[in-house]
Chains A and B, each alone.
Chain A
Amino acid sequence: MSDATLQNVPSGKSIRGKLSRDDIIMRGSMIVIGLYLLITMAFPLYAMLSKSFSTYKFDLAAYEVQVSDETGTNFSQPVTFADLNETLNVVAETDLSAGSDGRLGVTQFFPDFSFRSPVNYRLRNTSDTGRFLVGSTLNDATDWVELDSNTFRRVQLRPVEARGLDNFRTYFRTPALSNSIKNSVIIATVSTVITVFLAFWFAFALNRSCMRFKGFFRLVAMAPILVPSLLPGIALVYLFGNQGMLKELLFGATIYGPIGIIIGSVFFTFPHAFLIISTALSISDARLYEASVVLRGSPWRTFWTVTIPGARYGLVSAAFVVFNLVITDFGLPKVIGGQFNVLAVDIYKQVIGQQNFEMGAVVSVVLILPAIVAFTIDRLVQSKQVALLSARSVPYSPSPNARLDWTLFGFSSLVAVFIVGILAVCQFAALVKFWPYDLSFSLNNYQFDRMDGGGWGSYYNSIKLALLTAVIGTSVIFFGAYLVEKSNGFRTGRTLFQMFAMLPMAIPGMVLGLSYIFFFNNPSNPFYFIYGTMAILVVSTVTHFYTVSHLTATTALQQMDREFESVSASLKQPTLKLFSRVTVPVSMPAILDISIYLFVNAMTTVSAVVFLYSPKTSLASIAVLNMDDAGDIAPAAAMGMMIFYTNAAARILHLIASRGILQRTQAWRKR
């Protein structure tokens, strides 16, 4: 049976399978969810990309003007504004570049202009790309328009759009902007090195020693996941800021800048690195250790020849995940970055501060590149890790070693103090009257309705968003994963879908949010109506956190017997019945995991939604940002801690619910 037999081409005509009703339903559903991803991911990103190449320029040669004499008749020969500018030089070449909203008055081309003069003007576009406003009426025809002086005062030229690399050229020629690349890479690199180092030893202590209180340490290590990334920034301001208690420890250096960003980044990325490295360490093979001991390797040698190589994929993967998290994070540098510019904040400043959407898009494109590289490498490494996991068997169980155990205990305690300390500072600051001058107890900082930022309403909005994201996101993502994993044939469709599902992870939240503005905030878009509503927040959050959820669902589905669908079809039962009666109940643990993941992230996310909330849909995490911005730091800390407690409560509820549901639906797991 080699390729040689391929010459005996089969005689009969090839078979084209008839689709069953189920096949049609499943393909249809997959196309629907695929379209969803297209609309919520691909189209917005395309809109953003094309925006980054859009330049707007006043084309002075595109207009002709005629001026009358004092009687209002006898018009002069038509001249273009370009001709006029050549002699007068009132508008410099650089001022001709503009944003999409740019406007240019025309009276400056007529030094003698007076709005009371009886002189009349005639104006026309020389080509159909030319556009000018008279008051608020747009004129894009090439016919002459006659205006008196008073009206002519209100004429404004509009820039014409062109494609090109001009924006990028401007970006790289403006040091204030392009320096951020260096800044971002530096803080991401330093944070990565520190976090991975700390997380490795912490995970090592939990997996490879007989240290006490492991359960407690594990719990503490995961706590940072429950708060927005900007919360450690607030704690650092309290500790080391201008009125900080421990300010002296910095020896004159300022916490507002790289130092603050790095410390805060270590805090919020720690659990991610810890989880990945811990998994890698927990699967190392005991047999290798035995071999090393038999060969009389010193512990140090064993460490370098067995432990590190065994965990190397975990270390590399953790490094890229942390790098990605730090370089794309917006909240923390916004709060504590001071004058130190980083890419994610630049996007915000360009868009919200300067309304320069094109430049915002350019920074987004710049930010997406390292994110995609880090993401790709991480995926490659992860797939190797999986192979490792299945190949290995004998788990390693550590034996007591007093000196090592106590050293690691000391180290882990320091890390725990750091994590708990940051949270405690926020909570403490939230509960006192006026840090650090009046430390008496007060609940004033919880009167959010008196502050800028949306008040308690934003907190309830956040809960609403988190619940909607959890319910809708879990349903869509799990069903989507089911379709990809379990439908027949349709190879191209499934591969495409899988690609789309992986994409969101590589897209930084700021970029996603901005691209939504470009795509959805456009009256000609049929989905324009969701702009400014809760719906767009839900959609963006689901999309933002799609990939991890999708992978969780896929993994769970792959563990299920591949023949369930075949059996169901042979029994002539609809696949959807199988889905609801077997697949969903059996996957309940994964489904619950996905929903809590989405809930927690919806509560804490800032980056994508910061561009998309409206006054009516402000969120708790945004409120933290805005209150901090307005100088209400204590209320910001209070709100941040509300998010923490909500997430902690949600996790506990999730745990109880999982236990309950598992007991009911998974009774069959027990013998």
Chain B
Amino acid sequence: MKTNVESSYLKIENLWKFFGKFLALENISLEVKEGEFICFLGPSGCGKTTLLRAIAGLDLQSSGTTLQGGKDVSNLPPSERDFGIVFQSYALFPNLSIEKNIAYGLENTGRSKDEIKARVAELLELVGLPEQGKKYPAQLSGGQQQRIALARAIATNPGLLLLDEPLSALDAKVRVHLRHEIKELQRKLGVTTVMVTHDQEEALAMADRIVVMNHGVIEQVGTPTEIYREPSSLFVADFIGEMNQITATAGAGNKVRFGSAVMESAPHQFNEGDKIIAAIRPNDIIPHGDSAHSLGKDDRVETESNAIDVEVGEMEFLGSFWRCRLRHELFGNEDLIADFSINAVRRLELSEGSTMLIELPPTRLMAFAGSE
């Protein structure tokens, strides 16, 4: 029986890792398809690097198997596996020129001197630094060093590219720029790539699929949109993007109850009366006009039960939108945070202290188990 048409290039099964008595990875299973760009995302200390190093064979797992390209590599040393790696520190050899750094892995592989030279030139071209070959790493900027490290890692055309927080040592602007370049390069080469990051934006922008990790376990695996739109846990919801969290109880059917008010929500499995956390992203909250301020002909409330009048508190202009703190007795002392377009704020003449009608669309209002 054939189940999986698309073959997985990297397959991790029931992987555990202990450091002494400390459990760093708990029963990790994961499949990565050929040519895919995967991000391990999670807060610092959750085990991302540990998992990456286990995949590389740099720090073997305590138990569990790793299959790469159909071959069991679980207990192989790094030198007998097929991967290139880039570390946060780049680990460029400081006393070797850029050319020699890139050529390092090409030596002793049966390539002639000329072949190596040509390949180095090609790689320098590829990472956009064709003129820098004779310099030493310390003479390059952080971003340039990062690209050299990348060139060195892909020089031998490894089947798997591993990146451990490759961008986190750079300043914000360079980081955004390099994000695209790395992604471009990866697409061009088609190399299966696993990148570790604690920066959700980076993961959302670059990954084909994201593996969200927390405390040594995988919380969720999915495409950026899936992770963002349908977080499987409050942790994921909170870690990726922003999320309003409101204490509530579950209602019968797909409903949630705030005090006396009952609203429709996305489907959930809770029983009536269960304590839950209702969650909605700030940019999912829909502003509505009244007769005086119309937002256009489509501006009408879809679900009456999910519309409420709120008072506008503090407003903060964040460049491309307004962040508004909204107050309603249903939410207790907590403010509901909503991001409204500049356009909407202008048309609705919103200002601190005014009242307005908002709607919490049922599909975007999610219910999660409350923390005890």
Contact = CB atoms under 8 A, between A and B. Distances in A.
Contact of A561 (B56, B60, B65, B91): B91
Contacts of A671: 138-139
B153 interface: yes
A581 B96 contact: yes
Contact of B77 (A3, A13, A18, A582): A18
Given A1-B26, A563-B87, A14 B78 contact: no
A566 B137 CA distance: 18
Given A17-B77, A569-B58, A573-B107, A564 B84 contact: no
A582 B87 contact: no
A215 interface: no
A315 interface: no
Q: A566, A568, A577 — which one has the most chain B CB atoms within 10 A of its CB?
A: A566
Contacts of B27: 8, 10
B230 to A, nearest CB: 25
A668 B137 contact: yes
A13 B62 CA distance: 9
B104 interface: yes
A573 B78 CA distance: 11
A15 B76 CA distance: 10
B29 to A, nearest CB: 11
A13 B23 contact: no
A3 B137 CA distance: 44
Interface stretch (A19-27, A29-37, A242-250, A320-328): A19-27
A329 to B, nearest CB: 41
Interface in B224-241: none
A569 B104 contact: no
- Interface residue tally on A, bucketed by range: 35 or more
Given A1-B23, A15-B74, A569 B138 contact: no
Nearest to B140: A671
Interface residues of B, number: 52
B333 interface: no
A10 B62 contact: yes
B14 interface: yes
A570 B95 contact: no
Interface in A567-586: 567-573, 577, 581-582, 585-586
A92 interface: no
Q: A5, A572, A667 — which one has the most chain B CB atoms within 10 A of its CB?
A: A572
Contact of A23 (B58, B77, B87, B104): B77
A17 B59 CA distance: 9
A533 interface: no
A568 B74 CA distance: 20
A43 B91 CA distance: 41
A79 B13 CA distance: 85
Contacts of A668: 94-95, 136-139
A163 B332 CA distance: 86
A10 B63 contact: yes
Nearest to A18: B75
Interface of B: 13-14, 16, 21-24, 26-27, 56-58, 60-65, 74-81, 83-85, 87, 89, 91, 93-96, 104-105, 107-109, 136-139, 152-153, 155-156, 158, 215-216
24 contacts: A1-B22, A1-B26, A1-B216, A6-B21, A8-B26, A10-B27, A18-B75, A18-B76, A19-B77, A22-B79, A561-B91, A563-B87, A563-B89, A566-B78, A566-B85, A567-B85, A570-B84, A570-B158, A571-B156, A572-B79, A665-B95, A666-B95, A668-B136, A669-B94
Interface of A: 1, 3, 5-6, 8, 10-23, 561, 563-564, 566-573, 577, 581-582, 585-586, 665-671
Given A10-B62, A13-B63, A569-B58, 15 more contacts: A8-B27, A10-B16, A12-B64, A15-B75, A20-B78, A561-B89, A563-B87, A570-B81, A571-B84, A571-B105, A573-B104, A573-B105, A582-B93, A667-B136, A668-B94
